[in-house]
Each structure stands twice: as structure tokens, then as C-alpha cells.
């Protein structure tokens, strides 16, 4: 009996290994796939072996997407593509046998170049040991078209890419004059692509017979982040485009926060070493100190932040954007933009990735009130004012970001007030209005921002852990017990923080300053068409002219003497009830 049980267990383990084992199958269905021209069919579930980004699976009638299926076509050497060739997955209406026969027939008729825009995945170029090296292009049906120089399968140098608009529009057709694909609806990006960002990039949007171009040092392929020069605007309920004179705009999370009516900038740019050891490159005042528009390093304890925008007193002052250095910036860890006073943001927008770039949180539009802090010092969330918060997640099926949750409301000293959720409500948000009896409520109904009384002392709730533990500002922790009640205080959360009366919470005093005349450069644009091997492109060329600009008197700021630049005169953790 013991032997029977042993063999049954062994058989179960073997079967489990068979089911879960990764596999990779190759079949030369035409020609010579070792040292000549051939067609190699590849099937497997080791996604690392698939050439397609996002791990695209070719879903066939008899194959419910549990593995990928693609083909290598071209000149083989040592059982790998070496020379001119293709990697593609055929349209998804075929089963495996039908796909083999269809592709062999296409290759025999020398029509393989004509099926580029119908395949689920299509890649063409020169290969070295199976990877694109040199000029080539890649197409993912209805998602993107990329034409670039490649090295070991990755883009190197300039890259041309066509992608769907943010509303999902994507349409290309062949130009009868050039015999190249041209875009009808969508976005075309030209620049050096690194990770999820296009550096020194142009983005042209095509919709409703209007073409509009954005120029920027960095353009995220899904969310615009930074200072953008635009020559078009969106109007109307359906987002039609209209061409306008070029202007500079500040974007975070595809939300326009601020725009300058011209794209002028100073032609006298200086490099200054800051008192903290960091570096500033930009406009300066007559004493050579940073003042105006520039790029500045903001060094933290463990990270280096880069600020681009308006500067005074070696701090962000006016409209600008803060980001991590390039290596970390690719993952959208934290990007913060808006209006700054003495280095503290008052209102604007924040992008923060939730562990990876597959979940992104965007908070934007704070209350435009100069007397309060909108965000806390760690750039994590809004402290005071109105806000709209949106959570995005990447949809693998359509290869686009979709909004999953949206909420709006107001915060006072970091505590939520009047929260309204329009999408993705939680159980807590749908809970019925709680019952208050003689000033007491069920402990389980507490929310962040409530002020409660413990041992005669009132303190606000600042965090909740597992709907069981409630931490107060005075470091007291309340534990929810079955049927337990707790007393709500007569005090409000706003009573625990008091702003400075002199500086109104800004930490700075104002004084009058006269900026000297400066030499300015105005950027104008014109357009040219460039025809590549596979696509025809509209490129934007910038031209400049110089003039002298004078300025009226303006207000500058210095540290407040009343509160030593703190902005608050006291910050209490508890008050006697």
C-alpha cells in the first residue's frame, strides 16, 4: 500500500512539472533555417524569448493565448538570423497550420513587405545573431510604428515613432507619391528614446485635419511632464485642434498648469555653483545670483533632484517642475510641478508611481492660496486646499493607460474633508453616514482628520492601519475592539497648526526689486517633410531672433523674521478638552 501511495505522489509531481514547465519549440517550415534562406516558426511560453515588447501573444483560434507564436524570415547562419530578415506574428484569424501556409505563400510571391500593417507584430531590418542591428523598424498593430537605428535589438540614436493619441485614435495610410506610410490620426515622436522617455523630442499630433507640434527636452510616451513648446491648442468638446502662435507651457500628468504667451528666453545664460554645492544654469541678476528661468540641482539626503523653472534665493520661486535625475526619472517615481514660493509648492500637480510604472497616481490642482502649504515637504500629498486625484493602470490588452479611480475634495492641514469619489469607490467611501450619540461614535467608523478625546486630551487621527489601529498626532494608538465607542472632540483639526501672521505661512517677506534690461531670444517655428525608408514625417524647425527686454518693478522675497522662515508659530499635537 505504501508503494502505491509513493508512486501516486511521484506521478502527481511529474504531471505537475509537465504542466508548469516552460517550453520553446522551433520548426523550419520553409527553406534552410541553418545556413540559408528560410522561415522558422517559433512557439513557446518563455516570454524572454519573444522579440515583441509588452510580451505580445499571438492569439489564434485553437491557441487561447497561453503562449506566443511568431516567425523568423530571412537569411540564417548558425541557426540564427544574420543579415536581412523579418520577425513577425501573422493576423490572429488563423490557426497554426493556416498561418504557416499563408506566410509561405506570401514569401513565395515576394509580398512580405506589403503585410507590415496587417500583422499583429512586424519587424524588419538587418540582424546580427538574431537581434536588429542597424536601420530597421517595428510595428505593433494599432499601437505603434517605430523606425530607428538599432543595436542588439534596442533603439540607438534618433528614433521615429507613431503612436495612438491619448483618446485612442490611430490611423495610417500609404502615401501614393512616396509609397511610404503617413499618419492620419495619432501622435508622431522624433528623438532619442530611452526607457519610457523621448529625449530632445518632437511630438506632432494629427487629428481633424490639423497638425500640432510640441517640442521638449523630455516627453514621456504616455504622460507629458515638463516644459513644452507648443504651436497648437485643444478646443471643443471632442478635443479638436487649432493652430496658434508658439507658446511655452508647463505640463504634469498631461495637465497644463501654466503657459507663457511667448517662448522667449534670455540669451545670457550663466553657470553658478550654489551654496549647497549644487549647480545652477540659467538667468542671473546684476550680482550674478540665480534669478529668472533656469535649471538647478536640489540635493536631498539620499537623492538628487533637478528643478527646471523660475528661481530666486537659490530656491524655486514661481512656476517650475522637480524630477529625479535621469536614471530614476524613467520609472516616473516622483514628478512634481506647479507654483513655488521659497522652494515650497503652493498649487500644481504630482505624479508618483505605485511601486512600478504599471500603476501611476496623479494629483493635480491645489487651492491657489499663498497663505498655506499645498504639499508637504516630502512631495507625497496635498496638505491644504482643493484637489483632484486620479489613479492610472496600464491595460495590457490595448497597451494604454486607463484611469481606474478618481476622487476630488479638500484637505485642511493634511486631513481630508468633503471627499467625492466619481470612479472606483471603496467600501469605506460607500459606507452610510455614521451615527453619533451624545458625542460618541463607533471606533471602527473613525476616519483620518477626526479629532478624538483620550484621557481628557484631544488629538487628530493621522493614520489608519488595517482598519484596526488608529494613530493620533500625539503618538497615542487606538485599537478597535468589538462594539467600542470613542468621544469626538469639540476641537477641529485646523486648531492644531497656526500659521505666522506676518508671512501668512509662506516663511518669506516681500521687498521691491528692479530687474535690469536683458537680451531675449524669441523662438519661431517652420515645418519640413522628411521621407524615411518606411514612413514620411513632418518635422519642426526652430528659428530665433534677439531683442532687449525691460521690466517693471517686481516683488522679491526674503526669510521671515517673525517665524524664522518656518511659516508657523506653533504646531500642537494635543489640546486639553
pLDDT computed for residue 21 by the predictor: 58
Give 506-537 as a DSSP string.
Answer: SSEEEEEEEPPPEEEEEEEEEEEEEE-SSBEE
The continuous run of DSSP H or E covering 199 comes out as strand 197-207
For cell 518563455, what's the residue?
Answer: 46
pLDDT computed for residue 400 by the predictor: 66
Contact 301, 377 (CB under 8 A): no
What are the backbone dihedrals phi and psi of residue 445, each rounded to the nearest 5 degrees, phi first? -90, 5
How remote is the C-alpha of 521 from its chain's centroid? 31
Strand partners, 284: 290
pLDDT computed for residue 234 by the predictor: 74
Question: Rounded distance, CA 428 to CA 282, Å?
Answer: 49
pLDDT computed for residue 6 by the predictor: 44
The continuous run of DSSP H or E covering 70 comes out as strand 68-77
Give the alpha-carbon dihedral of 100, 103, 107, 112, to 10 degrees: -160
Question: Rounded distance, CA 451 to CA 488, Å?
Answer: 6
Contact 351, 251 (CB under 8 A): no
For cell 538587418, what's the residue?
Answer: 126
Contact 440, 486 (CB under 8 A): yes
pLDDT computed for residue 254 by the predictor: 78
> What is residue 466's three-state secondary structure?
coil
pLDDT computed for residue 107 by the predictor: 94
Contact 461, 447 (CB under 8 A): yes
3-state secondary structure 305-328: EEEEEEEECCEEEEEEEEEECHHH
pLDDT computed for residue 18 by the predictor: 41
Tell me the residue length of the chain: 577
How remote is the C-alpha of 97 from its chain's centroid? 41
pLDDT computed for residue 13 by the predictor: 42
What are the backbone dihedrals phi and psi of residue 112, each rounded to the nearest 5 degrees, phi first? -65, -30
Classify strands 171-174 and 270-273 as parallel, antiparallel or unpaired: unpaired
**How many CB atoms sit inside 10 A of residue 149's CB?**
15
Contact 181, 172 (CB under 8 A): yes
* Per-block mean pLDDT, blocks of 10 residues, the chain (577 long): 46 42 82 94 70 47 56 92 91 78 93 86 91 88 85 83 79 82 86 75 82 82 84 69 87 86 83 89 89 85 80 91 66 78 80 69 63 47 73 70 78 72 67 77 83 92 78 89 86 82 79 86 82 84 86 84 79 87
Task: List the one residue out of 511, 521, 513, 515 whose CA is nearest residue 550.
Answer: 515
> What is residue 443's three-state secondary structure?
helix
Task: List the one residue out of 368, 315, 313, 307 whose CA is nearest residue 337.
Answer: 307
Question: Rounded distance, CA 30 to CA 105, Å?
Answer: 10
**Contacting residues for 405 by C-beta, under 8 A, at least 6 apart:** 390, 391, 421, 423, 424
Task: List the one residue out of 353, 287, 282 whose CA is nearest residue 318.
Answer: 282
Question: Rounded distance, CA 348 to CA 248, Å?
Answer: 16
> What is the pTM for the complete model shown?
0.68
Sorted by where each begins, the domain ranges of the chain are: 24-141, 159-263+527-544, 271-440, 496-526+545-576
Q: What is the helix, strand, coil percentage profile of the chain, to 5?
A: 10, 55, 35
Question: Rounded distance, CA 452 to CA 248, Å?
Answer: 49
Contact 293, 305 (CB under 8 A): no
Q: What cell does 431 get?
A: 459606507
Q: What cell does 356 get?
A: 512600478
Amino acid at each position: 500500500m505504501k508503494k502505491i501511495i509513493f508512486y501516486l505522489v511521484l506521478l502527481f509531481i511529474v504531471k505537475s512539472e509537465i504542466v508548469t514547465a516552460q517550453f520553446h519549440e522551433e520548426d523550419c517550415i520553409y527553406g534552410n533555417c541553418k545556413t540559408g534562406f528560410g522561415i522558422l516558426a517559433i512557439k513557446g511560453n518563455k516570454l524572454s524569448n519573444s522579440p515583441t515588447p509588452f510580451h505580445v501573444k499571438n492569439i489564434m483560434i485553437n491557441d487561447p493565448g497561453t503562449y506566443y507564436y511568431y516567425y523568423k524570415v530571412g537569411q540564417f547562419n548558425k541557426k540564427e538570423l544574420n543579415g536581412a530578415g523579418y520577425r513577425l506574428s501573422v493576423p490572429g484569424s488563423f490557426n497554426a497550420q493556416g498561418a504557416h501556409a499563408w506566410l509561405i505563400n506570401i514569401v513565395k510571391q515576394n509580398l512580405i513587405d506589403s503585410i507590415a500593417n496587417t500583422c499583429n507584430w512586424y519587424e524588419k531590418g538587418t540582424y546580427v545573431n538574431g537581434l536588429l542591428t542597424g536601420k530597421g523598424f517595428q510595428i505593433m498593430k494599432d499601437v505603434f510604428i517605430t523606425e530607428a537605428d538599432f543595436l542588439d535589438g534596442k533603439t540607438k540614436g534618433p528614433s521615429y515613432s507613431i503612436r495612438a493619441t491619448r483618446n485612442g485614435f490611430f490611423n495610417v495610410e500609404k502615401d501614393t507619391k512616396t509609397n511610404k506610410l503617413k499618419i492620419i490620426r495619432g501622435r508622431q515622436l522624433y528623438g532619442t528614446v530611452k526607457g519610457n522617455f523621448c529625449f530632445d523630442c518632437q511630438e506632432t499630433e494629427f487629428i481633424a485635419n490639423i497638425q500640432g507640434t510640441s517640442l521638449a527636452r523630455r516627453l514621456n510616451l504616455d504622460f507629458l511632464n515638463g516644459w513644452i513648446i507648443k504651436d497648437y491648442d485643444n478646443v471643443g468638446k471632442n478635443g479638436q485642434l487649432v493652430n496658434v502662435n508658439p507658446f511655452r507651457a508647463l505640463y504634469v500628468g498631461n495637465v497644463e498648469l501654466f503657459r507663457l504667451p511667448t517662448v522667449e528666453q534670455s540669451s545670457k545664460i550663466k553657470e553658478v555653483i550654489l551654496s549647497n554645492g549644487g549647480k545652477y544654469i540659467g538667468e542671473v541678476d546684476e550680482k550674478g545670483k540665480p534669478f529668472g528661468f533656469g535649471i538647478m540641482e536640489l540635493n536631498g539626503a539620499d537623492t538628487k533632484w533637478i528643478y527646471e523653472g523660475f528661481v530666486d534665493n537659490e530656491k524655486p520661486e514661481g512656476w517650475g517642475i522637480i524630477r529625479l535625475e535621469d536614471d530614476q526619472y524613467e520609472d516616473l517615481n516622483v514628478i512634481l510641478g506647479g507654483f513655488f514660493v521659497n522652494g515650497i509648492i503652493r498649487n500644481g500637480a504630482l505624479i508618483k508611481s505605485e511601486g512600478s510604472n504599471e500603476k501611476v497616481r496623479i494629483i493635480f490642482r491645489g487651492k491657489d492660496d499663498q497663505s498655506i502649504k499645498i504639499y508637504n515637504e516630502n512631495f507625497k500629498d496635498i496638505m491644504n486646499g482643493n484637489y483632484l486625484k486620479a489613479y492610472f493602470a496600464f491595460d495590457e490588452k490595448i497597451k494604454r493607460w486607463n484611469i481606474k479611480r478618481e476622487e476630488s475634495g479638500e484637505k485642511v492641514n493634511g486631513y481630508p474633508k468633503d471627499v467625492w469619489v466619481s470612479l472606483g469607490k471603496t467600501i469605506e467611501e460607500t459606507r452610510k453616514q455614521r451615527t453619533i450619540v451624545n458625542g460618541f461614535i463607533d471606533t471602527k467608523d473613525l476616519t483620518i482628520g477626526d479629532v478624538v478625546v483620550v484621557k481628557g486630551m484631544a488629538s487628530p487621527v493621522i493614520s489608519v492601519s488595517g482598519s484596526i489601529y488608529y494613530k493620533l498626532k500625539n503618538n497615542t494608538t487606538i485599537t478597535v475592539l468589538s462594539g467600542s465607542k470613542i468621544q469626538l472632540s469639540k476641537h477641529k483639526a485646523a486648531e492644531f497648526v497656526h500659521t505666522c501672521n506676518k508671512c501668512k505661512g509662506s516663511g518669506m517677506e516681500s521687498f521691491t526689486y528692479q530687474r535690469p534690461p536683458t537680451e531675449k531670444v524669441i523662438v519661431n517655428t517652420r515645418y519640413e517633410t522628411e521621407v524615411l525608408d518606411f514612413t514620411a514625417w513632418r518635422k519642426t524647425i526652430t528659428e530665433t531672433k534677439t531683442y532687449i527686454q525691460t521690466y517693471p518693478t517686481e516683488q522679491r522675497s526674503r526669510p521671515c523674521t517673525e517665524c524664522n522662515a518656518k511659516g508657523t508659530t506653533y504646531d500642537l499635537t494635543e489640546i486639553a478638552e
